[in-house]
């Protein structure tokens, strides 16, 4: 009688957890009429993970058409365009495709026009002497919803915003002073240049709560951006100097 033989146990492939999808690449449109600089930027950006250049062109009309169609995350606009008005392009992008954040490139220190670009809808600025790492970090921050203003431009921007804010009717200013304690804290932290996430961590509250406070502050102070609130805070010496 032959001894019984054991049947081999079939191998079962181990179940593996599906990998998380990679982070979505930041979609970019570049408008720059300097061909050498434009092609150089494209080459360097393509070498970095997490970015996708949809179009790079000297023709603003062609680029704007692509912006309307593709709705990119960020639109990079050269400040010194020769054949197009970069300020007008900024306003057009912000007005027609508000989800596309605008970064203005190639600024010189103390450019007085920066306040106009902020009001037109620009979310970030890159100086002429910025490093490539600073350039990429600005894109990442703006794509994440932050506003990026170079330190070199802060004083000149604050000066212009405060000058304009000083001309507001007294009745409007009186409406603005009815602030809660938390709103005053948010104003002070905006004056320090903190992001919503940083403010939330400092005050131990949720980010969406910070956004709500910022929205209320903008309405009460009759201002249009976080930068204007920061300028207001600096000009008034902080929220404690605002009447109650």
The residue-averaged pLDDT of 58-73 equals 94
- Does the pLDDT value for residue 225 go beyond 70? yes
Q: How far apart are CA 63 and CA 59, in angstroms?
A: 6
Residue 56, beta-bridge partner list:
30
Question: Domain check: are 213 and 135 in the same one?
Answer: no
Predicted local distance difference test score (pLDDT) of residue 160: 56
**pLDDT, position 154:** 59
Could you tell me if residue 4 is inside a domain? no
Tell me, yes or no, whether 180 and 205 share the same domain.
Answer: yes
Check residue 164 and give its pLDDT.
Answer: 56
Evaluate whether residue 225 is within a structural domain.
Answer: yes
The residue out of 92, 117, 152 marking a domain boundary is: 152
Instruction: Give 222's pLDDT tier (boundaries 50, 70, 90).
Output: low
Q: Are residues 202 and 118 in the same domain?
A: no
- Check residue 172 and give its pLDDT: 46
Tell me what pLDDT residue 52 has. 95
Note whether 192 and 74 are same-domain residues: no
Rounded average pLDDT over 16-25: 50
Same domain (yes/no): 137, 197: no
pLDDT per residue as tens digits for the range 108-135: 654 556 777 887 889 988 887 788 988 9
Write the CATH number for 189. 1.10.10.10
- Say how many domains are in the chain: 2
Q: Give per-residue pLDDT as tens, 45-57.
A: 999 999 999 999 9
> Does the pLDDT of residue 66 top 90, yes or no?
yes
pLDDT at site 31: 95
Identify the pLDDT of residue 174: 37
pLDDT (average), residues 51-66: 93
70 and 178 housed in the same domain: no
Question: For helices 196-203 and 181-191, what crossing angle results, to 10°?
Answer: 130
134 and 30 both lie in a single domain: yes
109 lies in the same domain as 177: no
Question: What's the rounded mean pLDDT across residues 202-207?
Answer: 94
Instruction: Give residue-wise pLDDT tens across range 177-203.
Output: 577 889 889 988 988 878 889 999 999
Tokens 């009717």: give the residue: 169
Residues 86 and 204 in one domain: no
- What pLDDT does 203 receive? 95
Looking at the fold, whether 59 and 117 belong to one and the same domain comes out as yes
pLDDT at 49: 93
Domain boundary among 127, 152, 177: 152
Q: Among candidates 47, 48, 67, 49, which has minimal Cα distance to 57?
A: 67
Helix axes 86-96, 60-70, angle to 10 degrees: 20
As a whole number, the mean pLDDT across the chain is: 78
pTM of the model: 0.58
For 60, counting Cβ atoms within 10 Å of its Cβ (0-12 exposed, 13-18 middle, 19+ buried), the class is buried
Q: Give the end of a domain, one of 101, 125, 152.
A: 152
> 180: domain range?
168-241
Q: How confident is the model at residue 176 (pLDDT cuts 50, 70, 90)?
A: very low
Instruction: Tokens 């990079």: give the residue.
Output: 76
DSSP H helical ranges for the chain:
35-46, 60-70, 86-96, 114-120, 132-143, 151-165, 170-176, 181-191, 196-203, 207-221, 226-236
């Amino acid at each position: 009688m032959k001894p019984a033989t054991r049947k081999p146990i079939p191998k079962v492939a181990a179940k593996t957890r599906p990998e998380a999808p990679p982070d979505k690449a930041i979609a970019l449109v570049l408008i720059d009429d300097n061909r050498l600089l434009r092609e150089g930027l494209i080459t360097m950006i393509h070498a970095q993970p997490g970015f996708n250049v949809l179009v790079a062109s000297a023709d603003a009309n062609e680029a704007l058409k692509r912006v309307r169609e593709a709705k990119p995350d960020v639109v990079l606009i050269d400040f010194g365009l020769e054949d197009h008005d970069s300020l007008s392009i900024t306003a057009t992008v912000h007005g027609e495709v508000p989800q596309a954040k605008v970064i203005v490139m190639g600024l010189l220190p103390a450019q007085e026009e920066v306040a106009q670009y902020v009001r037109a809808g620009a979310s970030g600025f890159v100086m002429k002497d910025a490093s490539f790492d600073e350039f990429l970090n600005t894109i990442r921050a703006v794509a994440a919803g932050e506003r990026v203003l170079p330190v070199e431009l802060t004083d000149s921007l604050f000066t212009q915003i405060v000058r304009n804010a000083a001309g507001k009717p007294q009745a409007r200013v009186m409406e603005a002073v009815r602030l809660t304690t938390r709103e005053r804290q948010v104003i002070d932290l905006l004056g320090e240049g903190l992001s919503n996430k940083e403010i939330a961590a400092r005050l131990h509250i949720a980010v969406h709560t910070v956004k709500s406070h910022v929205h209320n502050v903008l309405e009460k102070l009759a201002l249009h951006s976080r930068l204007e609130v920061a300028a207001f805070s600096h000009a008034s010496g902080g929220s404690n100097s605002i009447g109650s």
